[in-house]
Every structure is written in structure tokens, then in C-alpha cells.
Chain A
Amino acid sequence: MDSMALNDLAPGASARVVSVGAGEASAPQELSRRLAELGFLPGELVRVVARGFLSREPIAVRVGTGTFALRRFEAACVRVRPEPV
């Protein structure tokens, strides 16, 4: 399956991180670095635990054994490949 942005992943769906990049244009440089430091690293398992109402943000993402709340532009930096159910 092709890779997609983490912010497009449906609640409850699992995926594996493919890469962490720049995301939206003009997003701050240190963003992808910090995401990597939090554990969004290639090969790690992620799952969307919950999403906010209406605007569908923030997004609660389980990565490995921790959970982080991300805004949409932050999740957009992470490319993932959905895991077969």
C-alpha cells in the first residue's frame, strides 16, 4: 500500500512510520526533528487513539508505548503506511 500522511489516518487504524519530513510548507524547521525525538521514527508502530470534533484536530496518536496529542500540521509531517488489519 502507498504511504499517506499521519493526519489522514482514520481513528483506530494502525500504521508504520515511513519517514518524517517537512510537512506543510513554512512549518518550523525543528518540527520534524522534535517529532523524531518523541519517537516518530521509521519502522515504529502508530495508531490514532482519538480525534477532535469537527475540525478533526487535535489527534491523539499512540507511538510505540507512548501517546501524544498532535495538531494537524504536526501529524502532516509524518508519512505512514497502513498496517493490514
Chain B
Amino acid sequence: MDALTAAGPSPLIALVGNPNCGKTALFNRLTGSRQKVANYAGVTVERKEGSLLTPSGRRVRILDLPGAYSLDALTPDEQVTADVLLGRRAGESQPDFIVCVTDATNLRQNLRLTLSLKRLGLPMVVALNMSDIARRKGIVIDASRLAAELGVPVVTTVGVKSSGVRPLIEVLDRVAAAPSSVAVDTASPVTWRSPTAAELEEDQAQVRRILSAVGADRIDAATRSDRVDAILLHPVIGPALLAVILFLVFQAVFAWAQIPMDAIKAGVDALGGWLATVVPASSFRDLLIDGVLAGTGSVLVFLPQIVILFFFILVLEDSGYLPRAAFLLDRIMGSVGLSGRAFIPLLSSFACAIPGIMATRSIQNPRDRLATIMIAPLMTCSARLPVYALIISAFIPRRPVWGGLQLQGVVLFALYVLGVASAMAVAYVLKRSGGGTRFQTLMLELPNYHWPNLRTLCIGLWQRVEIFLTRVGTIILALMVILWALSSFPAPPPGATGPAIQYSIAGHLGAALAVIFRPIGFNWQISIALVPGLAAREVAVGALGTVYALSATGADVSSALAPLISHSWSLPTALSLLAWYVFAPQCLSTLATVRRETNSWRYPIIMAAYQFGLAYVGSWLTFRIATALLA
């Protein structure tokens, strides 16, 4: 635009507010980012930066901060917010401007933080977010009166609508033009200190006065969320419904996925057949068909199941049900000495342990946080799903059990339960040996229910598809090529009788590893597949695809993996591999995350050791017991 814009750094604008008031939805709207949003407190645990080009062509930097109830941080994620706002964060200057985001339906709680932020003395605007929901509930807030009462500008926003941030962008435009132009009543900026109990009470008295002045002081006797909670949190009906919901999810993962999975399988087979006709016979063709296609194809097939699983997870997250599930299961968490706050990080670990481990930043007590980190990898992450699904479809018959339920879904559910149960057992041992406080806090906010937003749902699902396809296209593809090379060279000596792979580097490695794994029932093919599985769990499925494609003598190499393994493995071997996958530390990036979050090598090493130990013992017992029972 003009010379003035280029001069001077872009102003830094921080989005601050109570947890779950919609800061990240606003951030995404303003910056075009796609950060995760959901209807529970503590989704954002890190500072996230983006930028916005205002209508007059000026650039501002926007900072999304974890939600906080006060600047007196109790948890690591709140500490991030407090440090940034107080200018205590190393390598970062204090924000130039604050957008205090408030939930317009819950100003009674939110305005206390607003008052406390005002004392920071930084220029500020208050965003009355979720104003659409407030209006629907009949809450009419006189914004200009509120601005007069608070002494700061107030804008009305709707984070989930593209037109809903226009008023805020106009304010930011003026800030960008001249930061001092937005008049703020900060006559005497003071150095911030924690308010005393009496001051908190004074603040609340002021909030009450303001609310009655702007006509928003009504408290409903029973809201719609309360009526829903009367059923969903009912001491008997609530847990029963939770069990039904979880059961349905696992049934759907198998019941709905069959048609798209068959289609992908047919597509991969057709591509293999076509490649075999157009590419002349060569090592390159072998690499394409046996290495790349057999490997990535066997993982790709599981995309529909992952999409179905995430569909349910995202709906539950967006509706506000997740914290209720935490409420219903809190007794179980408490009985093994876990903080009630541990539930949501553990639930995130069903997608992937890495965001789950990061989410433990919302746990206040360091010991509780550590215990949660240590058990997070035992939750069944989505990378295990292809492995489980492969073995289940190969070995568990598709037949109905009681009341329309289907055996495959029941077994999958049982594997998830086994993961949770072992995590609880480990937590119990950790807490017994580690001591810690008797008082594990819960204090978990139960947000109002709302219908899942279709746009958020679609973006969320698409992101999962992208993540999965990226993994297939990068790490899995690369490992498949390496594995193919290791499995194809050196070529077998002349006159060799067995499949070529037995004479290759991978074949020898597999034979060596098989010595360790034979007691738990694994053959050399499985032993090879476990090695690349360390980089990403689902690679083991691709690796089995490649290894079996290369071991096949003459037969159709691109035929599906499931029938192949159902012929060559015994049932005890299959069950033993399932048990291995429930416990084993199979993912190096998880260990790296633990190292980063605990700032020590001690915990990732302990974690890897205990998980290997559990896996070996668990698989050994499974194999021996299954063999004895089936004998």
C-alpha cells in the first residue's frame, strides 16, 4: 500500500478469554487458519500465531492463547497465556492490543477476567462472541451500554460465521492504522498482581451491576442443556447410554466401511493389474507392484474405517458430550488416582497419543500430569486401527452375536477396553509407587450442548483424511521402498528353492528377530514387519503386504492380505499379535513428544521399557493360553 505500512513491525494482537468461549474459532476466521476447535475447555494448549491483512491493507499479527480463568495460572497451558500477557515469555514482546473474547451467554463468568485484563493497562476491545446463540436464547445485550460501563470498546461477533467477524476486523484495522486511536480508559496503568479474595468479590459485585445495567442479568431456572443433562448425567441412565454410544461407534466402524473398503481394494488391484501389463518385467515393476502398491494399498484400504471413527469423535467433541463422558467416568479415574482432568487428554489419545500428551498441559498437579502422559500411549490410537481391523477381518468370523451385534465389532470394542483397562492398571501402580496428593482436582466445565457445526465437522474430517493420506504418501511409501529393497537384495543364489525374500537382508534380519519373537508365536514375516512399524504403527500392515507379496510363489501377488494371513497364521499367533499391539511402544514420535513435554530422557525410556515388558508378557500369555485352549 503506502510507505507507512512497510515501516515499523506489525502490531501483535492477542486473543484472550475463558476456556471454550470461541477464541480459536475467531482466530481461524481472522487468519484463515484451521486450528482445532471443539466444544470443551482446553482444546488450545499452546500459543498459535497467524496474520490478518486488514481492509486498508495493513498486516497485523494475531495470537491465539489457551483459555484461562484467571491470570493466576494454575496449569501449564494457563501459564502460557499469563506469561505472554505479562510480557514474561522469553523472546516475545508484550502484545500491543488485547481482544478479550467473551461468551455472550455466560458473561457472568467471563466479565471477571475482562475486569482483570483491564488492569493490565493494555489497549483492549471486548468481543461478545457466540452472540447468535445468545440471541436465540433471548439474551439481548446492550453493547454500547456495556462499552460505557466497562470503559472499553465492545463488538459483537459470531466465530462460526464468516460475516460474524466483520465488526472485529474494523476495530483491528483502526488499531493497525494507529494503535493509540482506539480509545481506552486506562488512566492509571498498574503493574499486575493477583487479586485478593476480597477483590474477586468486588469484581463480581461490579459484574452484577454491569449485567443488570445492560439487561443481561437473567439466570434461567432450567436451561435446555440442564434438561438434556438430567438424562445424560443420570446416575443409571447416563452410564448405560455412554456404553450404548461407544458400542455403536465400533459397530459402525465395521458395518459401514465394507463397501468403500471393497471399492478401494478393487481399485488397488485394478491398478496393479494395469501396471503389470504396461510396465515391462523388471526390478522397477517389482518395486512398483510388490513394494509400493502392495504396501501402501494395504494401508489405504483402512481409510473408510478411520473416517467413520473420526466422524463420531468429532460429533461427540463438537456437541459438548465429551466433558459429560468425563463426568460419568470420573469415579473410575479417581479410583486409580488419576485427575478428573486426565479424561480429555486420554480421550484425545484415541486419535493419536501426541496431541493427547500435549493436552495434559491442562492438568495442574505435575505428578498427575506425568501419570497421564505415561498411560496415554496405551489408549488405542487410530494408527492401530488398520492393524486391528486386518487381523480381525482375517480371523474373526463375521457373524451376529446377541441382539443384532456383530462379532467383529465386539472384538474391536474389547481391544479398546483392554487398552483402557491396562492404562488404568498402570496408573494405579504409578500412583501407588509415586505417592502424590490424595486430592486430584476435577473442576471441569460442562459447556452448553449445541448441534455439531457441519462446516467444522467437514473440515475436521478432511484434515484427518489429509493426515492419513500424507502418511501413506510420505513415511509409509518411503519405508515400503526401503523395505522392498532390503527384502529383494541380495538375490537368491542359483538353485535356491524357497521364496527369494528368505535370502535377502530383510529375510536374514527377520530370521534373527524371529528367535526373540518365536516364544510369543510370531513368524519371521511378522518380525520383519514390526521393525518399520516403529516409525508408524500402520506401516506394519503395509510391511506385511510387501513381505507377503514377495514371499508369494507364483500366486496372484496383489490379492488381499487378509485371506493370505488367515491361511498362514494360527489363531494363537493372530491373538498374540493383537495383544502385542495393545501394549507395545510402536511409535518413535510419541517417545519424542514425551521427551519434549517432560524435558527429560528418563520418562520416554521408562515408558518404552514398561510397554515392551507388558507387550512381551501379554503376547506370551495370550499365545500360550490360546494354544492350550485350542489344542
Shortest distance from the beta carbon of A8 to any chain B beta carbon, whole Å = 17
Contact A44 B443 (CB under 8 A): no
Given known contacts A37-B70, A57-B331, A70 and B108 CB-to-CB distance under 8 angstroms: no
Q: Is B334 an interface residue (CB 8 A)?
A: yes
Shortest distance from the beta carbon of B277 to any chain A beta carbon, whole Å = 62
Task: Return the CB mask of B142-160 against A: 1 if under 8 Å, else 0.
Answer: 0000000000000000000
Contact B109 A71 (CB under 8 A): no
Give the one of A30, A62, A66 with max B CB within 10 A. Answer: A66
Q: What is the CA–CA distance of A51 and B197 in the complex, to the nearest angstrom? A: 28
Task: Return the CB mask of A41-67 against B: 1 if under 8 Å, else 0.
Answer: 111110001111111011010111111
CB within 8 A of B340: which of A30, A41, A54, A69?
A69
Contact B230 A74 (CB under 8 A): no
Contact B109 A34 (CB under 8 A): no
Contact A68 B443 (CB under 8 A): yes
Task: Return the CB mask of B564-583 against A: 1 if under 8 Å, else 0.
Answer: 00000000000000000000
Contact A62 B226 (CB under 8 A): yes
In the complex, residue of chain A having the shortest beta-carbon distance to the beta carbon of B235: A53
Interface residue ranges of B399-440 to A (CB < 8 Å): 437-440
Instruction: Report the interface size for chain B: residues with CB under 8 A from the other chain.
Output: 48
Q: What is the CA–CA distance of A63 and B440 in the complex, to the nearest angstrom? A: 21
Contact A49 B233 (CB under 8 A): yes
Q: What is the CA–CA distance of A50 and B364 in the complex, to the nearest angstrom? A: 25
Given known contacts A33-B72, A64-B108, A65-B109, A58 and B330 CB-to-CB distance under 8 angstroms: yes
| B-chain residues with CB within 8 Å of residue A68 when the two chains form the complex | 443-446
Q: Is B631 an interface residue (CB 8 A)?
A: no
CB within 8 A of A41: which of B201, B323, B328, B438?
B201
| A-chain residues with CB within 8 Å of residue B235 when the two chains form the complex | 50-54
Q: What is the CA–CA distance of A42 and B109 in the complex, to the nearest angstrom? A: 14
Contact B239 A39 (CB under 8 A): no
| B-chain residues with CB within 8 Å of residue A39 when the two chains form the complex | 108-109, 112, 204
| B-chain residues with CB within 8 Å of residue A53 when the two chains form the complex | 235-236, 239, 331
Q: Is B219 an interface residue (CB 8 A)?
A: yes
Task: Return the CB mask of B428-472 against A: 1 if under 8 Å, else 0.
Answer: 000000000111111111110000000000000000000000000
Q: Is B69 an interface residue (CB 8 A)?
A: yes
Shortest distance from the beta carbon of A51 to any chain B beta carbon, whole Å = 7
Task: Return the CB mask of B180-200 against A: 1 if under 8 Å, else 0.
Answer: 000000000000000001001
Contact B327 A36 (CB under 8 A): no
| A-chain residues with CB within 8 Å of residue B112 when the two chains form the complex | 37, 39
In the complex, residue of chain B having the shortest beta-carbon distance to the beta carbon of A55: B331
Q: What is the CA–CA distance of A20 and B439 in the complex, to the nearest angstrom? A: 17
Contact B69 A37 (CB under 8 A): yes
Q: Is B487 an interface residue (CB 8 A)?
A: no
Q: What is the CA–CA distance of A58 and B239 in the complex, to the nearest angstrom? A: 13
Q: What is the CA–CA distance of A27 and B437 in the complex, to the nearest angstrom? A: 9
Q: Is A28 an interface residue (CB 8 A)?
A: yes
Contact B109 A66 (CB under 8 A): yes
CB within 8 A of B109: which of A20, A60, A64?
A64
Shortest distance from the beta carbon of A6 to any chain B beta carbon, whole Å = 13
Task: Return the CB mask of A14-30 against B: 1 if under 8 Å, else 0.
Answer: 00000010001011101
| A-chain residues with CB within 8 Å of residue B106 when the two chains form the complex | 64-66
Q: What is the CA–CA distance of A67 and B439 in the complex, to the nearest angstrom? A: 21
Q: What is the CA–CA distance of A32 and B437 in the complex, to the nearest angstrom? A: 16
Chosen A-B contacts, 25 in total, with CB atoms closer than 8 Å, are A20-B197, A26-B438, A26-B439, A27-B439, A28-B441, A30-B364, A33-B72, A42-B201, A43-B208, A44-B204, A49-B230, A49-B446, A50-B233, A50-B235, A52-B330, A52-B331, A57-B334, A58-B327, A64-B109, A65-B106, A66-B106, A67-B446, A71-B340, A71-B442, A73-B439
Q: Name A's B-contacting residues (CB within 8 A).
A: 20, 24, 26-28, 30-39, 41-45, 49-55, 57-58, 60, 62-71, 73-74
Seed contacts A50-B238, A52-B327, A64-B219; 17 additional CB < 8 Å A-B pairs: A26-B438, A31-B439, A33-B72, A34-B69, A34-B441, A37-B200, A45-B219, A53-B235, A53-B331, A54-B235, A58-B340, A65-B220, A67-B447, A68-B445, A70-B443, A71-B330, A74-B442
